[in-house]
Structure 1
Amino acid sequence: MHAVEEARQTLVHPTALVAPGAKLGQGVVVGPWCSVGPNAVLDDGVELISHVVVDGHTHLGAHSRYFPFCTVGMAPQDLKYKGEPTRCEVGARTVVREHVTIHRGTATGSGITRVGQDVLIMANAHVAHDCVLGDRVIIVNNVVMGGHVTIGNDARVMGSAAIHQFVRIGHAALVGGVAGVEADIIPYGSVLGNRAKLIGLHWIWLRRNGVQSAEIHRMRKAFFTLYPKVSGDVSFQTRLDQVRQEFSGDVRVKEILNFIDAPSHRGLVRPARGGAADQAETEGA
């Protein structure tokens, strides 16, 4: 019983600064030289390892962990920002590694930056104002994103990729390392290069997550109908209509079509020159 009570205790290191008004749940650990602002809420089991700064109206989900020299909820890098009480939220069990910066939202944007549950953000990455990251997203070292970026559940962004503001990255998409992403990536899409080009679907993720071979085969057929290996005279709209008619009953294909139909600031990432390349055996993650 004593061990259980000890595990529930909130521990604040003598060198840490926790402002009056901050709300700390049970079992929170605030390590050496951390700073927690007056409007911060730390749910049960949150751990700030050391030298972590939590500022603004920021809510950290249960059992999330923050490594040295990361900052969460600091003011956005937006010249229009005038100190409005915008917000930042990080979901449960998310891990934020060294030197990551996650900025709060802006009044001219959505007003909130949101990171989902079970996310891993590796060292030196930057999550800008008004970004929304879904659940189980992995952001690898040195990734940078502009404001208002949206990243769907289960997406993977490899090291040193740069994502333009207002870009949407769909569910379970894969962004290759050092890619420069200027436009939207369809769900399950895989992109490489600077500037990023669509090279296929994230086949490995589909296999690893239990998608049956028959469904993968139909997704492959739908994808290469939309993005043929050899470009022809048929318009993208015509190919889109063909996929709608032939694959209307396929849930994942419909997800891709709904993404394409949704409003976009940036348009869609285009396939590699000469049509999309099938990377089924070479894609990672």
Structure 2
Amino acid sequence: MQDETFIHPLAIVEPGAGIGAGVQIGPFCHVGPDVTIGDGTRLISHVVVAGATTIGRNCTIHPQAVLGGPPQSTGHKGGRTTLTIGDNCIIREFVSMNTGTDFGRGATTVGDNGHFLAYVHIAHDCAIGNNVTMTNGVTLAGHIEVGDFVGIGGLSAIHQFVRIGHNAFIAGGSMILGDVIPYAMVGGNRATLRGMNVVGMKRSGVPKAEILKLRRAYRILFDRTRPLAENIERVREEFADSVYSMKVVDFMLARGKRQFTLPPLKGAADDDADGQD
């Protein structure tokens, strides 16, 4: 990374844009007047940054990415809304991220250390956590919440207003219509739960004892012999000493009227998780 700011002669940076120290803006980029770019960020070439967009420090943005375009919503009346991207993000070719809507959150937010591969789309009013990876062709509709350390496989699509909990893993080609609990694996066209994301939990430093508790809690939560509300209360009582299990319970209790939690495959309430303990 160069220490001095460099703007290629073939780039357009409009008056009013805020450009940090050491920023590199390559040829044929277009940076709008309401844009702020943090120190050390690099726009390789052919990047469009529009709208009221703030990009953090030390990001790398690849050709044909379009950041801060207006929301793709007929309800938006043109009010000033924003896109904020955190530090140390890698944004690959043809990624698009839109600003929020004036009837929604008014903001789209992306956390630190994100890795967004080619053709990812993040729609209006989404809130993306830290250390999130979205592989090629992932498509998010509006008003989606994604927790920290989430991995989403290629060509997956997520319905509006869905919540994805921390440390969840979504298999490639999944169609997500409901909320994904923290630490879960999901997959399929009209996706279902496939157990707990044991590998992801280990990588994140979750203790083995807590992983075992989570897997037991999972089996109780999705035991179809009892109502879900009863299962949640049972887990709440039996696993009150487990911070991670309580995060799952709190996530499920925070559902809105329009939301439902993805269930396991019909007749499969067990946590397979590739047989890992």
TM-score normalised to the size of structure 1? 0.94
1:241 corresponds to 2:236: no
Q: Which runs of 4+ in 1 moved over 4 A?
A: none
Q: Is the 8 A contact 2:84 2:107 kept in 1?
A: yes
Q: Is the 8 A contact 2:20 2:40 kept in 1?
A: yes
Q: Once the 2 structures are TM-superposed, how far is the Cα of residue 189 of structure 1 from its aligned partner?
A: 1.2
Indicate the SS of the match to 2:273. Answer: coil
Indicate the SS of the match to 1:178. Answer: coil
Q: Once the 2 structures are TM-superposed, how far is the Cα of residue 279 of structure 1 from its aligned partner?
A: 3.4
Q: Once the 2 structures are TM-superposed, how far is the Cα of residue 276 of structure 1 from its aligned partner?
A: 3.0
Could you give the per-residue CA deviations for residues 151-193 of structure 1, whole angstroms, max 9, x where no partner exists? Answer: 0000111000000000000001111111100010011111111
What CA distance in whole angstroms lies between the structure 2 residues aligned with 1:279 and 1:235? 22
The equivalent residue for 1:188 is 183
> Aligned to 2:269, which of 271, 276, 279?
276
What CA distance in whole angstroms lies between the structure 2 residues aligned with 1:66 and 1:202? 30
Indicate the SS of the match to 1:58. Answer: strand
Give the count of matched residue pairs. 275
RMSD: 1.4
1:137 corresponds to 2:137: no
Question: Which one-letter code corresponds to 1:150 in the other structure?
Answer: E
Gaps of 5+ in 2: none
> Aligned to 2:9, which of 14, 25, 43?
14
The equivalent residue for 1:261 is 253
The sequence identity of aligned pairs, in percent, is 38
The equivalent residue for 2:172 is 177
What CA distance in whole angstroms lies between the structure 2 residues aligned with 1:225 and 1:202? 17
1:44 corresponds to 2:42: no
Q: Once the 2 structures are TM-superposed, how far is the Cα of residue 77 of structure 1 from its aligned partner?
A: 0.5
Question: Which one-letter code corresponds to 1:172 in the other structure?
Answer: N
Map 1:149-164 → 2, pairs under 5 A = 149-164=144-159
Gaps of 5+ in 1: 1-5
Q: In the superposition, relative to structure 1, how do residues 29 and 282 fare at CA in structure 2: closer, same or farther (>3 Å)?
A: farther
What CA distance in whole angstroms lies between the structure 1 residues aligned with 2:11 and 2:270? 52
Question: Which one-letter code corresponds to 1:107 in the other structure?
Answer: D
Map 1:78-89 → 2, pairs under 5 A = 78-89=73-84
What CA distance in whole angstroms lies between the structure 2 residues aligned with 1:114 and 1:38? 20
Q: Once the 2 structures are TM-superposed, how far is the Cα of residue 282 of structure 1 from its aligned partner?
A: 7.6
Could you give the per-residue CA deviations for residues 121-180 of structure 1, whole angstroms, max 9, x where no partner exists? Answer: 100010000011000000010010100010000011100000000000000111111110
1:60 corresponds to 2:31: no
TM-score normalised to the size of structure 2? 0.96
Q: Once the 2 structures are TM-superposed, how far is the Cα of residue 216 of structure 1 from its aligned partner?
A: 1.2
Q: Is the 8 A contact 1:162 1:180 kept in 2?
A: yes
What CA distance in whole angstroms lies between the structure 1 residues aligned with 2:206 and 2:178? 27
